[in-house]
Amino acid sequence: MAIRVGPTRHALEDLELRLLLEGIYQHYGYDFREYARASLRRRVWRRLLEEGLETISALQDRLLHDPQCFERLLVDLSVTVTTMFRDPSFYQALREKVVPLLRTYPFVRVWNAGCSTGEETFSLAILLHEEGLGERARIYATDINDVVVRQAKLGTFSLEKMREYTQNYIRSGGKASFSDYYKVYGDKARFDPSLVDNVVFAQHNLVSDSEFNQFHLIVCRNVMIYFDRSLQDKVHDLFHRSLVRFGVLALGHKESLRFTSHTDDYEEVDGREKLWRRIS
Amino acid sequence: MAEDLLSPRLIVVGTSWGGADALAALLGALPPEFPVPMAVVQHRGADSLEGVLVRFLQEHCAVPVREADDKDAIEDGTVYVGPSDYHLLVEKGSFALSVDPPVTLSRPSIDVLFESAADSYGPDLVAVVLTGANRDGTDGARAVKEQGGVVLVQDPGSATRPEMPAAVIHSVEVDEVLPLERLAARIAGMGLEP
Ligand SMILES: C[S@@+](CC[C@H](N)C(=O)[O-])C[C@H]1O[C@@H](n2cnc3c(N)ncnc32)[C@H](O)[C@@H]1O
């Protein structure tokens, strides 16, 4: 009898993955059930092989009985890759098109959701500082992963990266000399702590935590690409509730509102740079 | 030759050094009504200007060429190019992007595209490896074969850089090795059979 191995094996693996995510959710409270499958599967497989196991079910067994194994998977699952002034043209558009809108408010609240190790937060803080908004803006920088949030507070990045970041900063329309913002300690660049006097760093899970303030600008780049469409939609509900009317939403270069139920609630500020303004 | 080869539901293409011209030749051979969606990954710098590769390929190609956005549906009769500085992954019927660290030194990585496409499309997948000077694509091609898909490789002798296609042929049992022109004709005929 001929069994078509491909699809059958695939369906079985799909089932194992769903059971694993359900188990993690019920036992540890972390909800990855609606994360985008393809990259999630890659990372689950990496963990599984490193544990010397052969099936996702075997990994589930170990995870549920050994919290340390779960900790290891958590590290694998959180992709914290980030860059200062990633996509310089985005920061340029922020300066030219969004800052003038922010200036109309006496006090500005910014939410940097999925801030990772803080490179993006410091980029935003530098930009607001140079635009004269440093004193009257507060940035809330949040991430699901408390390890990276603690790291973000330090504002200490690898010196090796400074050449690339300096290039990005210049191309983003930076107005000062980038090296004035940090001091070098060994192989680290430590950014001026006063840049983040007005930054609140906190752990916050976009999947399960609720809104906590009203914002004039929400920056959430390259975070929701890890979510499936239905989860993206839920997070967009959260952002919509968290934005003041005419507040601005900023997404990553390859993300859009197209697949959400909020397309009509926003107007474009800059289509290429993925900047939208809430209009209803 | 596997029957599936005649009408795959998705074609994935990976290339590196010399890839732009090879892709132009490959896509240039497609008839305007070519039905099978295609996803292309070409290694390039993180700072390469957005849209340049897409415009260049569109000039040579009768089928619409687009850069893939996150969660874009995979539509028939469209060539999708993975954006620079992101991995392009295939889900069932749609794309997903990631900024995970480079794989085999590359982002976008051909392995990531091929492996995720193999997972989602199994035997309905054709993977094509063109010119390149590294080993990206070998693990991906293996995954495609394991899931029952078809792997076609540009004849290293006809490639601008032979290393990448040669690495695949060396470690994976591929279906066909063809010079670029014949490879292009082979693909152009897919999905058009009665
Ligand atoms: C690829 S990084 C992007 C960092 C930064 N925004 C950028 O674009 O450079 C994705 C970040 O999203 C965070 N993240 C993932 N799931 C999350 C969730 N449910 N809630 C909040 N943050 C999350 C990860 O921990 C990680 O730091």
Strands A182-185, A188-191: parallel, antiparallel or unpaired by DSSP? antiparallel
Q: CATH number, domain at A120?
A: 3.40.50.150
Question: For position A1, what pLDDT does the model report?
Answer: 45
The answer to the question of residue A4 being in a domain is no
Contact yes or no for A39 and B100 at CB 8 A: yes
A135 shares its domain with A216: yes
A143 shares its domain with A36: no
Q: Is the dihedral of CA B147, B149, B155, B158 positive or negative?
A: negative
In Å, what is the CA distance from B151 to each residue of A110, B6, B95, B154? Answer: 49, 13, 21, 10
A141 shares its domain with A200: yes
A14 shares its domain with A112: no
Distance of CA B74 from the midpoint of ligand 1 (Å): 26
The answer to the question of residue A3 being in a domain is no
Domain boundaries, position A242 = 88-278
Distance CA A177, CA A280 (A): 40
In Å, what is the CA distance from B161 to each residue of B19, B133, B153, B157, B184? Answer: 9, 6, 13, 9, 18
- Higher-pLDDT residue of B60 and B49 is B60
Atom of ligand 1 nearest to the CA of B100: 1
Is the interface score ipTM higher than 0.85? yes
CATH class of B10-188: alpha beta
- Total structural domains in chain A? 2
Q: What is the pLDDT of residues A134-166, one digit of tens each?
A: 999 999 999 999 999 999 999 999 999 999 999
Q: What is the pLDDT of residues B130-140, one digit of tens each?
A: 999 999 999 99
The answer to the question of residue A237 being in a domain is yes
A152 shares its domain with A229: yes
Q: What is the pLDDT of residues A94-132, one digit of tens each?
A: 999 999 999 999 999 999 999 999 999 999 999 999 999
The answer to the question of residue A1 being in a domain is no
A54 shares its domain with A98: no
Q: Is A80 in the pocket of ligand 1 (CB under 6 A)?
A: yes
Query: Nearest-5° angle of CA A96, CA A97, CA A101?
Result: 115
Residue with the smallest CA separation from ligand 1 atom 9 is A82
In 3-state terms, what secondary structure has residue B137? coil
- The pLDDT confidence band at residue B150, using thresholds 50, 70 and 90, is very high
Contact yes or no for A10 and B119 at CB 8 A: yes
Q: Is A222 in the pocket of ligand 1 (CB under 6 A)?
A: yes
The answer to the question of residue A24 being in a domain is yes
Q: Taking 90 as the threshold, does the pLDDT of residue B108 lie above it? A: yes
Q: What is the pLDDT of residues A7-33, one digit of tens each?
A: 566 788 899 999 999 999 999 999 999
**pTM for the whole thing?**
0.94
Q: What is the 3-state secondary structure (H, E, C) of chain A?
A: CCCCHHHHHHHHHHHHHHHHHHHHHHHHCCCCCCECHHHHHHHHHHHHHHCCCCCHHHHHHHHHHCHHHHHHHHHHHCCCCCCCCCCHHHHHHHHHHHHHHHCCCCCEEEEEECCCCCHHHHHHHHHHHHCCCHHHEEEEEEECCHHHHHHHHHCEEEHHHHHHHHHHHHHCCCCCCHHHHEEEECCEEEECHHHHCCEEEEECCCCCCCCCCCEEEEEECCCHHHECHHHHHHHHHHHHHHEEEEEEEEECCCCCCCCCCCHHHEEEEECCCCEEEECC
Q: What is the mean pLDDT of residues B39-65?
A: 90
- Exactly one of B87, B106, B136, B158 is catalytic; name it: B136
Distance from CA of A104 to the nearest CA of B (A): 33
Atom of ligand 1 nearest to the CA of A148: 27
Distance of CA A218 from the midpoint of ligand 1 (Å): 14
* Closest C-alpha to B147, from B176, B178, B177, B172: B172
Contact yes or no for A38 and B90 at CB 8 A: yes
Q: What is the mean pLDDT of residues B58-83?
A: 97
A96 shares its domain with A148: yes
CB pairs under 8 A between A and B: 70
Contact yes or no for B123 and A7 at CB 8 A: yes
Question: For position B49, what pLDDT does the model report?
Answer: 73
A123 shares its domain with A259: yes
Q: Is A206 in the pocket of ligand 1 (CB under 6 A)?
A: yes
Distance of CA B164 from the midpoint of ligand 1 (Å): 33
Q: Which of A56, A77, A98 is the last residue of a domain?
A: A77
Q: What is the pLDDT of residues A47-103, one digit of tens each?
A: 999 999 999 999 999 999 999 999 999 988 889 999 999 999 999 999 999 999 999
Question: For position B193, what pLDDT does the model report?
Answer: 65
CB A53, CB A42: distance < 8 Å:
no
